[in-house]
Structure 1
Amino acid sequence: MTGSRSKASYAGAIFSTLFRLFTYVFLRVIPIRWCKYLIPAFYLAYAVTIPFTRPLSPQSPSPSPPSTPEDNKQGSNAAKDESNNDFLWELLFSLPTTRVASIITWSINTLLIVFAADFVFTPLIDSAADVTFTRVGAVYPDSVKVIVRYPLIDHNATEHNVRILWRPATAADVEPWTDGPVLRLDPEFDWTNTTKLTKLWPSTEYECARIGVHEQDHATVPNSPIRFRTFPDSRLPTGSHFRFVVSSCLKPNFPYAPFQNGRIKGFDLLADYLFLESAVIDTPGIVEPVSVNDNMTESPIPLERNVGIEANGSVGNVVPATILEPERVASTEFMLFLGDFIYADIPIYHGDSKHAYRRLYRQNYNSPSFRKIYERLPIIHTYDDHEIINNYFGQSNDTPPFANAEDAFRIYNAEGNYDAHVSGQHYYDFRYGDVAFFVTDSRRYRSNPFTGETATRTMLGEAQLSALYEWLGKVNQTATFKFIITSVPFTSLWTHDAQTDSWAGYASEKASLLSALHTVANVYLLSGDRHEFAAIEFNPPNEVGVGAHVVREFSTSPLSMFYVPLVRTLRAASDAIVPRTRLRIVDEESPPEEVVEEVPMERVLKYLPIGNYKWSTIEIDTRNPEHPKLNLEAVIDGKVAYNLPIDATPVKLRSSTALGSMVPDSIKDILDRVGLTPNRWF
């Protein structure tokens, strides 16, 4: 380039470039809190320099020999190319070349500041006060929880009532609606309430709808019915075959798209995955099949293929997939959402008030993306720190910020969960057939991770820890698979702030609990929080005893939020090494031989850090009690990225005393029609 520029021109270019860089990071990479201060500061600094900048000033031409027509043509083309390059340089780095380019640069920067303002302030402006929804939460063999929000248009009203109607979905065209319970809705609870439909049959599909109590014509229902299927009776020895979805962490419209603040792309992709089955099952993805079994027989795939992270911390290669079989998979019965359903403090803290927290929940339920899921799939919740404030630990649960944050979580999500054994608590357990779940509260009772001795710190608190141990004793011989849900990772392999915010900061309680888990067959931990996917294996030390079981953890997030590019925060294995005996199959004619090998106490089976949209589906098949199976499928950005089939340990379950196993469905139907309720007998 030729010509001269003022110092203000270069200063403006620097401020403009920094403004664009931080705006891009803020809107598309990570919504870092301090960017909300830097972005307007750099924009204002750039704007201040505009009156003092000037385009290129031509230099005095130097004498040149007479030119020919060909020289003139070449010179004209060269000048044109240089002009185009100057124009592109101006647009990219805001270096002034022409008045037109300067106007375009200003327009681009102004549009970017508008986008940033839209991302930050729209959640503060949009109250979503009129959002209406009906969804299903906890599902039992004979009942279901239904959550309704239905505000009155007249905002001066103090309350109104709605009725829930229900009927079997298989005979929806001929079956009349049955009157269910009446819900009282009032502004004190944000026009939201939860009820339970009872006297239902196990493993049966129903539909329910909301109607005003004064509307007597049940033939016309004012909203689309919500379908659900009751869970099987856990006392029946029939086995289970089903899938469920697990994920955590969502922020509407991130990565940012202009003026689409109601969109949650992760839910859009999940809806396509769940409800457009042909696109999911018949289309190949990126799949790495790995066979794992608890009997420690040698896998036909080398062990190195099981480890998705190299010794230096880099991500291992993902092998191309083979085309999946078009066989129909098990139905998806529910979703476990493991926390950070809202981000109360990103990109700005919305304030410690009931209104501020409730508004964020309403905005998510008002999202057409989320509606695609919660109107078709039961969702079970726990919470993590961002429903309250970043890295929250149970300081004083009766004072800010917990009290108002818990109020909103309870109204919108917790009331729809399974009932806790102790009123007012957010840890609970439930079952699906012969599969048991314990959902922990890993925020409310945790000690300050920065004070005191490690041995005295607690993640769960005494009462919750006792409830977890009691649950383990109950399900040890009554459930084939046992899932423990914790919003933060159980493994200590994650670094940085995870060393204090996850179970790594509570090493003593973790070690004691892990020793107990090694004595129970088929225990799996499900976690989120880290905005990455990892499958972790915990190998039992010798002191646990003979017959100890491997414990595994699947950590999945975010459903729809940022991931950290370039930086890798998960170590491949722990420093602690334990001996492990496994069986190696030499050939088909020889008996398996025992092989003792040294393995890390904790090691990564697979690490997938990249991707804004992640969830895992877990398929359980216990129909053959001698060969129970689990299959994990990790999906990233809408494509299958990892597949882990596991041959689990057979568990001899205690025999059922349920009378229902001896009563034909036809007899049950007759009893039901004459007003008897045999579902209460078994």
Structure 2
Amino acid sequence: MVSLRSVVAISSTAIRLTALILLRWIPGQPFGPLVFTSLVVYLSSLFPLIREEQSDETRREKGRPRPTKSKPASDSAKPADSALKTLLTGVPSARSPLWTWTTVIINVVLALLTLDFLIRGFVLYPTTHATFARIGYISPTTANLVFREPDLARLPLVVSYQDIASQSPEKWVEEGIIYKLDNSTDFTATVTLKNLKPSTHYRYALSNNQSGTFLTAPKPGSPEANRLSFVTSSCLKPNFPYNLLRHPLRVPGIEQMTEALAKLPALLRPSFMLFLGDFIYIDVPIRFGLSMSHYRSEYRRIYSSPSWNSGAPDHRAIDLPWIHTLDDHEIQNDWAKGNKTAPYPAAADPFIHYHVKGNPPVPKTPFAPSDNVTYFAFNHGPASFFMLDTRTYRTEPSHENSTILGHAQLQSLLTYISTPEPPGTLWKIISSSVPFTKNWHVGTADTWGGFTNERTKVFEAMWHAERTLNLRIILLSGDRHEFAATRFPDPALALPQSQLQPNTPGRGLHEFCVGPLSMFYLPVRTYRQTDYEDVLVKYVPEGNSKFGLINIAEEVEDLEPKSSAPVPVRNSVLTYSLYVDGAVVWKYRLFVPLDRDEAGLASLSDYERALRLPPGRVVEDQIVDHWGAVVGDAAGRIPEVFKSVVEMGIGYYDYLTDRVQRA
């Protein structure tokens, strides 16, 4: 039978361990209830144990002989030992009531901090009166303005804009007047600012005192269209890691990103944020409901964060255009039940009003009714973009006919991949909320690794496009709270195994998966290369805040810098810079040569055409592996080893059963 002392020690340890994990490491669903359950067990066992300890101490005192002068040191040492044991285990000591109550207070305070983390933002900031305005998709002549105004006394709302360079009060242009806002859209609306000039800084203003700035996209074919800078990330949760003194809606990662971007030279300032899902966490660390109002309130809380306006007035995060894709935590963890099953309809409502309405247009050939499409396509400078929705149309993974895109979206993507781009557009950038690589060995089925047949079909189209369209395809993804760069070599290259080893830059389609912008990360390493199809370029799991800065510009580069006679070549160069906790830690470059004759392209073999794109190159690497990497890698292999042991045991059991039946 378990003694009271053991129950108190175990429950006290559980309070401290689970509270630490929840508040500083992983805000998972089980940990909050475990803290409070352990506290109930601890307190209900503590007081009977205190009475028992006091009774035992009283009996010992009555039967103890009078101490002699030769033993003072021994008696004085016991209370100190008891105090340390009490503080560490939570077990009370009749000799040290001060330390007994100190350890009780520690455990109660940890539970109160847990409660504060779970409910302070939800209870104190319902944000029903939240007001904000932000810019979404921008083109050379338009900009989508999304705003919310629940105070109907401020209607009608007048929306205006002006060229910042003019600085003249009479130069304001009235775009429109909003006469009606209601609960059907959660009091949000989207207005498209039109008749803008390319590559021009504008200021917008609403009559409810909301205002901001933005820069329009360059005109195709102009010198400004040769370059582009933007940022990408995924996954954010306010006030994590938890800080009692921090505003519960502050998002540390947004503030770190804003500070880092403000230090960049003007040419490298990003034109937009490509945010790849998990903008809200409806189910982490606790789900308060499944109704549409609960989903709406989570969006309002994020947009009510003071982090959007942190930093210098001319570098606010709210002034950076954000473009969004959908992922599982905006619906439910690992969602794969389509767009009709609850809670998807309730989850989709605020995503449409807050994000889709401000997003780019749907592809020219969506292969579905355009009012039912949540995947997007657009051009900006030297790149074209296709933003996938890998949640709305997917089926259950790991079946022969599983689909992550659905038929209409897959056909639209394949059409996009095979369509030539206009002159000057040298990069096709395809974004997915989940990784393409199957190198992640935890949650693999939730990624493209659970839809390998469809992945193969898409990759074959991409490899063919790179050989024939004089451009390069880049894959961007999120979801994982880690960074990984992976390349997928074209089989036509027939690369030797020496060029397919882990941690090697080189040729192939490249994927950059990054996250979280502000959330937990796993010290357990779950990403490993297991074959020569998905080649590990770089893996960085550490960091509560990670984002990628992508810069495309024309430069003259020596594509073979180690050769005896390097030849400078004019290229369109894509530089990927990984930021971890606000600092650049890794840079990688990819090239599209510009000075080359395409006249004889049709006569080349697949191998010769595939070789036209130079290998990638690491230009900066400040990541240093330490002993934690070895431990993390070993811990990450435990589930795989356990699975292998179970499968081996089942196989051995089947073998023995078969032998018995034969006998």
TM-score band by shorter chain is 0.7 to 0.9
Query: Match for residue 490 of structure 1?
Result: 436
Report whether the alignment pairs 1:645 with 2:585: no
Q: CA deviation at 1:62?
A: 6.9
> Within 5 A, what are the aligned runs for 1:463-474?
463-474=408-419
2:22 to 22, 26, 34: 26
Offset from partner CA, 1:369-425 (integer Å, 9 cap, x none): 134454220000001011001111143x23411111110101111111012142231
Query: Match for residue 53 of structure 1?
Result: 49
Amino acid at match of 2:214: F
Query: Match for residue 440 of structure 1?
Result: 388
> Within 5 A, what are the aligned runs for 1:502-513?
502-513=447-458
Cα contact 1:522–1:549 (8 A) shared by 2: no
Report whether the alignment pairs 1:607 with 2:607: no
1 CA distance for matches of 2:3 and 2:249?
43
Cα contact 2:121–2:249 (8 A) shared by 1: no
Query: Match for residue 425 of structure 1?
Result: 373
2 CA distance for matches of 1:518 and 1:135?
37
Query: Match for residue 263 of structure 1?
Result: 250
Query: Match for residue 248 of structure 1?
Result: 234
Query: Match for residue 489 of structure 2?
Result: 539
2 CA distance for matches of 1:182 and 1:651?
50
Specify the SS of the correspondent of 1:339.
Answer: coil
Query: Quick one: structure 1 residues 532 and 651, their matched pair in 2 at CA, closer, same or farther if it must change by over 3 Å?
Result: farther
Report whether the alignment pairs 1:185 with 2:171: no
Report whether the alignment pairs 1:568 with 2:522: no
Cα contact 1:436–1:475 (8 A) shared by 2: no
Cα contact 2:254–2:317 (8 A) shared by 1: no
2 CA distance for matches of 1:466 and 1:235?
29
Query: Quick one: structure 1 residues 608 and 133, their matched pair in 2 at CA, closer, same or farther if it must change by over 3 Å?
Result: same
Amino acid at match of 1:634: L
Query: Quick one: structure 1 residues 394 and 477, their matched pair in 2 at CA, closer, same or farther if it must change by over 3 Å?
Result: farther
Name the structure with the higher helix share: 2
2 CA distance for matches of 1:437 and 1:342?
24
Query: Quick one: structure 1 residues 103 and 482, their matched pair in 2 at CA, closer, same or farther if it must change by over 3 Å?
Result: same
Query: Match for residue 333 of structure 1?
Result: 271
Query: Match for residue 176 of structure 1?
Result: 171
Offset from partner CA, 1:32-57 (integer Å, 9 cap, x none): 22223322111100110232123573
Query: Match for residue 364 of structure 1?
Result: 302
2 CA distance for matches of 1:494 and 1:477?
36
Cα contact 1:123–1:360 (8 A) shared by 2: no
Specify the SS of the correspondent of 1:170.
Answer: coil
Amino acid at match of 1:635: Y
1:553 to 511, 532, 553: 511
Report whether the alignment pairs 1:382 with 2:325: yes
In angstroms, what is the RMSD of aligned CA positions?
2.7
2 CA distance for matches of 1:47 and 1:538?
56
Amino acid at match of 2:516: P
1 CA distance for matches of 2:596 and 2:143?
30
Q: CA deviation at 1:175?
A: 5.3
Specify the SS of the correspondent of 2:416.
Answer: helix
Bigger Cα displacement from structure 2, 175-184 vs 554-563:
175-184
Amino acid at match of 2:272: F
Cα contact 2:337–2:396 (8 A) shared by 1: yes
Query: Match for residue 351 of structure 2?
Result: 409
Q: CA deviation at 1:172?
A: 2.3
Q: Which runs of 5+ in 2 are unaligned?
A: 311-315, 364-369, 496-505, 557-568, 599-663
Cα contact 1:244–1:619 (8 A) shared by 2: yes
Query: Match for residue 621 of structure 1?
Result: 553
Offset from partner CA, 1:534-591 (integer Å, 9 cap, x none): 011111113899xx972100000111111122x21111x342xxxxxxxxxxxxxxxx
2 CA distance for matches of 1:31 and 1:52?
33
Count of matched residue positions in the alignment of Structure 1 and Structure 2: 546
Query: Match for residue 524 of structure 1?
Result: 474
Amino acid at match of 1:507: T
Q: CA deviation at 1:171?
A: 2.3
Offset from partner CA, 1:410-450 (integer Å, 9 cap, x none): 11111110121422311111111121111011111112115
Cα contact 2:482–2:540 (8 A) shared by 1: yes
Q: CA deviation at 1:463?
A: 1.4
Amino acid at match of 2:259: D
TM-score, structure 1 normalization: 0.75
Offset from partner CA, 1:100-125 (integer Å, 9 cap, x none): 22222222222221222222233543
Cα contact 2:273–2:322 (8 A) shared by 1: yes
TM-score, structure 2 normalization: 0.77
Amino acid at match of 1:258: L
1 CA distance for matches of 2:64 and 2:187?
77
Q: CA deviation at 1:13?
A: 2.5
Q: CA deviation at 1:271?
A: 1.3
2 CA distance for matches of 1:543 and 1:536?
17
Bigger Cα displacement from structure 2, 174-183 vs 336-345:
174-183
1 CA distance for matches of 2:269 and 2:206?
26
Q: Which runs of 5+ in 1 are unaligned?
A: 1-5, 213-221, 282-326, 576-599, 655-682
Cα contact 2:546–2:578 (8 A) shared by 1: yes
2 CA distance for matches of 1:40 and 1:261?
21
Cα contact 1:515–1:544 (8 A) shared by 2: no
Offset from partner CA, 1:308-327 (integer Å, 9 cap, x none): xxxxxxxxxxxxxxxxxxx7
Query: Match for residue 8 of structure 1?
Result: 4
1 CA distance for matches of 2:597 and 2:196?
26
- Tell which has more relative contact order, 1 or 2 (C-alpha 8 A, sep 6+): 1
